[in-house]
Every structure is written in C-alpha cells, then in structure tokens.
Amino acid sequence: MSSHTELVSRLRAAWLSGKTRPMEYRVAQLEALGRFLDEKKQDILQATAADMRKPPFEVEVSEISICRSELNHTLNNLGTWMKDKHVEKNWATQLDSAFIRKDPYGVVLIIGPWNYPINLLLVPLIGAIAAGNCVVMKPSEITRNVERLVAETLPRYLDEDCFAVVTAGVEETTRLLENKFDYIFFTGSPSVGRIVMTAAAKHLTPVTLELGGKNPCYVSDSCNVQNVARRVAWGRFFNAGQTCVAPDYVLCSAEMQEKLLPALHEAITEFYGPSPRESPDFGRIVGDKQFQRVQALLHSGHTAIGGQTDAEERYIAPTVLVEVQQDDPVMQEEIFGPILPILTVASVDDAIAFINARERPLVLYVFSSCKEVVNRVLERTSSGGFCANDTIMHMTIPSLPFGGIGQSGLGRYHGRSSFETFSHQRSALLRGAGRETLNTPRYPPYAPHRLSLLRAATETKRRAACLLL
C-alpha cells in the first residue's frame, strides 16, 4: 500500500468516525486556520517574496486579507448554512418532515496553484472545513518556499487526524490522483484540469475546476479615460500580470485607443515610476519556463509601452501592445504576464461578436458611463463573472460566487458557495410509522378510482398566473 493510499485511508477512517461533523469542531479548526494566518504572516511575506518577489502590499491584499475575510464571513454564517432546509410538501406528506441536509462529502483533495499560493489553497480549504470534510492539500511545487512553509507549519495548527499536506511534483501528483477521493478541487490550467477530470472520472468523483482564459475588457467611447487606465493597469499588472482574473486584452475603438495609450503610460509611470524594474511594487515572473513563454508573446503586434526584459531577474516590464491581429500568438493563449494587447473594434456590437466567437472567459470587463452599454454586454455575452467599470474587485466580495464556465472552469466557490460546493445536498423524508390507511390508494391490486385520489395527494398543481397590466 502506497503512502498516499495509507493517508487517504487514515483520513477516511477519521471522517467515518463523525469527528468532523459537529459545528464546534469545524469552528475550532477554522479559528486555528486564522491563527496560522496571524502568526505566520511574516513567514508568508518572506516566502512569496523569495518565490516571485511579490510586493508585501500585494501579499497582504491578495493572500492574507482575502483569506481572513473569507474566514470571518464563514464563521459569521456557518450556523445558518448548516441548518436543515425544510421544503414544500405535497398533501400526502403534510404530516411528515421533508428537508435537505447538508452532508460533508468525506475526504477531499485540494490542488493549489502557484500564482496565489496561499489564497487559492486556503480559501477552498475554509469551505471544505466548514462543510465537515477531511482534506488532503497539495500546494504547488513551483513556489517552493511557500510549499515548504505550508507543509512544515500548517499541520501544526490543524487536526492531523483529519487534515494533511502533501508535497508532490507532476509524477507524484499523478499517483496521488489514482486514489479515490470523495471530491476534488483543482485550480490551474485547462490542460491539467482535463487530466484531473479524467482521473476523477475513474472513481466517478465530483470535481470543481477553477481554470482561466482570456478575459476581455471592452472600453466604450463614453468613459473617463484616466480612471479606466488606472483601473485596467492595476488589474493587468498586479502580481506582474500572473492573475487568472486579470484583463487579458482590451477591445476599443481606434479613437479610444489614441486616448487610452497616453493615459495608460501615465498610470504605469504613476504606479511604478519611470523604471518599473527598480520599483519595489512590481513583481517578477515565477520561473524561467514561464518567463520564456511570456517573453515570446512580446513579438506580437507593435510595442507601444514597455517591452523591456531581463531573463536573469525574470523581469518583464509592464507592456502595452497595439496593431495586434487576432491570429497573433498573444491572442492564442492566456497571457499570464504583464502584457496588455489592444485590439480595435468599430462598435459595441462588434466587441460582443468578437467575445462570443471565442471560448467563454473566467470574467468579462466593460468600462462605460452608459448603463445601456454595460447591460447590453452583460445580456448578450456569457462568462464566469462580470465586472463593470473596474477590474478584480468582484473577488473581494465573499457573497459573490466565483467560478468559470466552459473552458474557464466548472463549479463555483467563495462564501456560502464554498460551503455548498463541499456539501452533498442530501434529501430526507421522515415519515410516521402509522396512518397506514392513507397509503392504501397506492398499493396493488390497483383500482382506477384510486388514481384520481393518488394524483390529488401527490401531484403539484400549477398556480394561476397573476398578470399586472
């Protein structure tokens, strides 16, 4: 028996014992996770800086604060979420109890990515703990310092009978996926997501896949150009562009592009100074392989802003590309780096057609002071999420579900959605042992005159429509 198989078996035994089910236990584990965030904050800052020179401010905002907010939101609402949901009954069951019980799935596997290695591992973990599961966590091996920190310190805070951290590369993760889990939560690329889903299918294990994609950003002619430039530049170049919900490309008119370029240059200079390479507020690409991939995308179109690189530092300057063609390499894959292509369209309808001709994105952005334009894009497109007149900020609201659609993902989480993702909605009907006479109409030998009685007792009737003229 492999070590992974033994681990999963041990956690399953703990789950079957019922240890994780009481609310008091779940709250205690969540509070312990909060202590980890508080006591290891400086270690988290140092590890993320060592892995990708992530600015401390960005770590505070995108790793620690978001986890803390999600944790508090869950603790504030867990008692309500755990309650049975009583449902409407038919006439035949009026004297009985019918409800939905939120049951934990069992032993859950969470596979985290490297771009936000704390946030995107712990936020799903919060939901899994809240729902009463045992959890195996697999942090990314690419951010080695964070991986080491999580593996060495997080188990000291959580119940080791029910929670475990596994460090593994590609081959070891493949073997880990051969085990039967009751739920798998994966964040990463669509290509690896397919591998995870294939492995899960062998055991008919349900999955959530948080993937990515090319997130469009339509900028209409009716907007405050300076505000747009600041918000788009912040969203695109935060974490050196290594954000799954960053605006991946801009669609706008030729006239708007002429206004937007100097505003973007001004915003980049305001944020990172005349030489972003020297700014303490601009990060680096996580690894050499990732650097080479992103650097190759700079050959698309014409560089209007930035374009400087340094392979030794894995530095790529905040860059804006123009004259980009639809078939250029930069438009064929998620950029995941500090590059912003601008493509021109004649109208909002052309922008909508461009967006709808491609895979559905994780999020769609639109900037316009005209509500009709915003609503037009919202109503005629499909995406995992939608945000008007800003970027990324929808991620700060725990009560908004987050997830993709199609190529950008499967399932959703954050807040109550995390709790529901890791919970099985178990239907329950508790009937009385007596009153057998009421059941007689459904038993053989069948009699035609009983059918109308049975239908009246069990069928749902359509309510009369109420039309306000």
Interatomic CA distance for residues 147 and 112, integer angstroms: 10
- The b/e string for 384-394 (b: 16+ C-beta within 10 A; e otherwise) is bbbbbbebbeb
Q: What are phi and psi of 164, to 5 degrees?
A: -145, 150
Residue 323 known to be catalytic:
no
What whole-number distance in Å separates Cα of residue 423 and Cα of residue 82? Answer: 10
* C-alpha to C-alpha distance for 320 and 300, rounded to whole angstroms: 11
Read off the tokens for 240: 């050196």
Place of tokens 């250029």: 328
Is 134 noted as a catalytic residue in this protein?
A: no
Helices (H), ranges, 131-253 = 144-153, 170-176, 190-201, 225-237
Half-sphere exposure of 262 (CA within 13 A, CB side): 3
Residue 67 in tokens? 């986890």
Q: Provide the b/e sequence for 417-431 (b: ≥16 CB within 10 Å).
A: bbbbbbbbeeeeeee
How many other β-carbons are positioned within 10 Å of the β-carbon of residue 461?
8
Residues 6+ apart with CB under 8 A from 395: 66, 245, 402
Q: 219 — phi, psi (to 5°)?
A: -115, 115
344, 261 in Cβ contact below 8 A? no
- CA 161 distance to own-chain centroid: 27
State the first-to-last Cα distance of the chain, in angstroms, to the nearest integer. 70
Residue entry with tokens 């239907």: 427
Please count the CA atoms within 13 angstroms of the CA of 274 that sit on its side-chain side: 0
Residue pair 391/233 in contact (Cβ under 8 Å)? The answer is: no
Contact criterion met (CB below 8 Å) for 136 and 164: yes
DSSP code of residue 442: G
Among candidate residues 210, 217, 252, 334, the one labeled active-site is: 210
For residues 166 and 189, give the distance between their C-alpha atoms in angstroms, rounded to a whole number. Answer: 20
Active site residues: 210, 244
